[in-house]
Amino acid sequence: MNSSQNHKNVAKPGDLSSKVLTGIVLTVIIIVTVCGNVVVCLAVGFNRRLRTLTNCFIVSLAVTDLMLGLLVQPFAAMYEISNHKWYLSHTFCDIHNSLDVMLCTASILNLFMISLDRYYAVTAPLRYTTLVTPRRVAMVMVIIWVVSIMVSFLPIHLGWNTNGTTDHNPEECSLGVNPIYGLVDALLTFYIPLVIMCTTYYRIFKIAREQAKRINNVPCNKKVNHVSPTVNEHKAILTLAIVMGAFIICWFPYFTVFIYRGIKGDNAVRKDLLSVVTWLGYANSALNPILYGTLNRDFRTAYQQLLRCQRVGPDARKTPLTPRHQMRDQTCEEALSKQEDIPLQLHVRNGKENPLTQDGLERIIARAHGAKQQQCIPMQYPTLYSTGSEVAI
């Protein structure tokens, strides 16, 4: 009898190796989540150019994901490593589940508001400053957190998420779901925002495609720009596919299982599957600093300055010219030099041609130079991150 109990208490080598591997993977996710979102906050804090209304949602997203990485993920990782055994109190379990739902909901709603902000910035650039004001941004952030609290702390602590359908096991800490709570929470915090995000990003992609074609149709660009509109379209498709693909891959499985649990019961889904889809959703908080930071030119520059321990000044946005831009400038300069080489002469009353004075000649050349430069500058359309090939996210 004692030998059989000792045999059960001895951990198998396979179980130990799986725990170690699981612990390493989850630790990496937590470290990337915390460090990545800290870098985003520091970049905005040290770079004045990044302190814009648009980036308020980026910072709100980073703070939310940072709180998730500090307050929720470590306890969730310990719960996974200990074979789904909860060694803390039942009250702390409810607080942990409430924080989990609240922060994940706030993260998704911040992503949703970023898509709406970029949509208005691209489709209505002239009215953007009147539509997006500091007061409205603050109101939206308040609404995000109110909705997040309403679907987390309130129903979980009042038991609305279960309605007595789940018998609580003191050794477990899982979120109970009934059909009403599962449908309402999933529709309100994921499926409806997902449909709107897909629509807005599709509109943004269409505008980016039109912008790329118009820039390539500028006369000055026709001579020197060898990048076809198809290339810019592929870049736009790739960027939007990465953004939406990461969001859907990370959260769609979780909310699908979430609704299934609400309809069929909490025990209808295996714990291993539930753990995989849960941490897949957590991984989105680690990807957000990369997707919404490195795909933005201003954030890339701020990251480089921050990692090099350099102070980010007002000229941080300046980047070296690419060979394509250098070629365009060289062609425009050649056109200017040819026009400057034309002798400018003036007829006088006696019928003789005398050259203009040096001062007058310089003024006319300066005017011609300015006019020619205006001809060589591409037409400006609502830009997506300052270039035709970068797409707002």
What is the pLDDT, as a whole number, of residue 73?
97
pTM: 0.75
pLDDT at residue 221 in the model: 52
pLDDT value at 348 more than 80: no
pLDDT tens digits, one per residue of 116-149: 998 998 888 899 999 999 999 999 999 999 999 9
- Per-residue buried b or exposed e for 15-40, using 16+ beta carbons within 10 Å of the residue's own CB: eeeeeeeeeeebeebbebbbebbebb
For 15-307, CATH gives: 1.20.1070.10
pLDDT at 309: 72
How far apart are alpha carbons 122 and 216 in whole angstroms? 19
User: For 166-209, how does the pLDDT look when each residue is reduced to its tens digit (9 = 90+)?
Assistant: 556 778 898 989 999 999 999 999 999 999 999 999 898 888 77
pLDDT at 280: 96
Question: So what's the pLDDT on residue 169?
Answer: 76
Nearest Cα to 134, choosing from 213, 56, 27? 56
Model confidence at 17: pLDDT above 60: yes
Q: What percent of the chain has pLDDT over 90?
A: 45
Q: Which of 174-178, 229-233, 240-244, 368-372 has the highest mean pLDDT?
A: 174-178
- Comparing 234 with 352, the larger pLDDT belongs to 234
User: pLDDT at residue 301 above 60?
Assistant: yes
